[in-house]
Amino acid sequence: MPSPKRSIHVVAAVITDARGRILLNRRTESRDMAGLWEFPGGKREPGETSEQALVRELHEELGIEAEVGEWIMDVPQRYPDKDLTLEVRHVRSWKGAPRGREGQAITWVTPDKLARYSMPPADLPVVAALRQPDCYLITPAPDIDEGGLQRWHGQLQQAVASGQQRIQLRLPAEHPQRQGVIEQAVRAHRRGVQWLLNRDIELARTLGVGVHLGSEQLQSLQERPLPPGQLVA
């Protein structure tokens, strides 16, 4: 009989400094997947909480006393000989100066450059999550009168100017000027904004933007409704 698969729980840290950079470790030659970059951390031992395991691992690897912050995500991975769960936590505060205590290289990377680094499969969903905006704007429906539309477009322009990178245009289907309002907004702010249209797959495909699906749409779809490069939420 084949040996039962092992279950391994790994806890990793997204360590961010005051400039928003993220610390990466490089795996040494003595480890599997040598040379790849990863978020620092390690296996949770029996009897340890995730926080205890991460504090221990970061002290061993980097020589810091970390204050473990909020949960970011879990990433399940299946291998021929083991099932791995990567639990990712945020670390924004620590004591000491990070250094590679186990002979590994370390580097600080801005989030927009994380994708340039070769990483193990379990770390890639974390990179994708970190490159997303922390939040995005969902617009209310504009009033139908001309003054209401002007106010709505003015507020949208202010939101873009303030740095909103992702905006969901949520206008009810019965709004008499819905398509024109959406097209005007997208054309006016095409650069620097990731657009999501609420539920309207066809218009999103036509305009080359993203879509936010309703639950009933998710249940009826058999495949991704938009080409790669157009967001689907």
Q: Which residues of the chain have pLDDT under 50?
A: none
Give the model confidence (pLDDT) of 86-132 as tens digits.
999 999 999 999 999 999 999 999 998 999 999 999 999 999 889 88
The answer to whether 232 and 213 have CB atoms below 8 angstroms apart is: yes
Strand ranges inside the chain, DSSP E = 6-15, 22-26, 37-38, 41-43, 65-78, 82-95, 106-109, 137-138, 166-169, 194-198, 210-212
End-to-end CA separation in angstroms for the chain: 44
What is the predicted pLDDT for the residue at 228?
A: 86
Q: Which neighbouring-strand residues pair with 211?
A: 197, 232
- Measure the CA–CA gap between 10 and 53, rounded to whole angstroms: 9
What is the predicted pLDDT for the residue at 3?
A: 64
What is the predicted pLDDT for the residue at 200?
A: 95
Compute CA 80 distance to the chain's CA centroid, rounded to the nearest angstrom. Answer: 27
**Domain 6-130 belongs to what topology?**
Nucleoside Triphosphate Pyrophosphohydrolase (3.90.79)
Domain 137-220 class? alpha beta
Buried b (16+ CB within 10 A) or exposed e, 4-35: eeeeebbbbbbbbeeeeebbbbbbeeeeeeee
Mean pLDDT taken over the chain? 91
Q: What is the dihedral of CA 205, 207, 209, 211, to 10 degrees?
A: -50
How many of the other CB atoms lie within 10 Å of CB of 75? 19
What is the predicted pLDDT for the residue at 127?
A: 93
What is the predicted pLDDT for the residue at 76?
A: 94
Domain ranges of the chain: 6-130, 137-220
Q: Which neighbouring-strand residues pair with 11?
A: 42, 87
CA-to-CA dists, residue 68 to 65, 123, 196, angstroms? 10, 19, 34
Ranges of H-type helices in the chain: 50-62, 124-130, 146-161, 178-188, 201-207, 215-220
> pTM to 2 decimals?
0.70
- Measure the CA–CA gap between 40 and 43, rounded to whole angstroms: 11
The answer to whether 84 and 76 have CB atoms below 8 angstroms apart is: yes
The answer to whether 214 and 200 have CB atoms below 8 angstroms apart is: no
Question: Is 143 strand, coil or helix?
Answer: coil
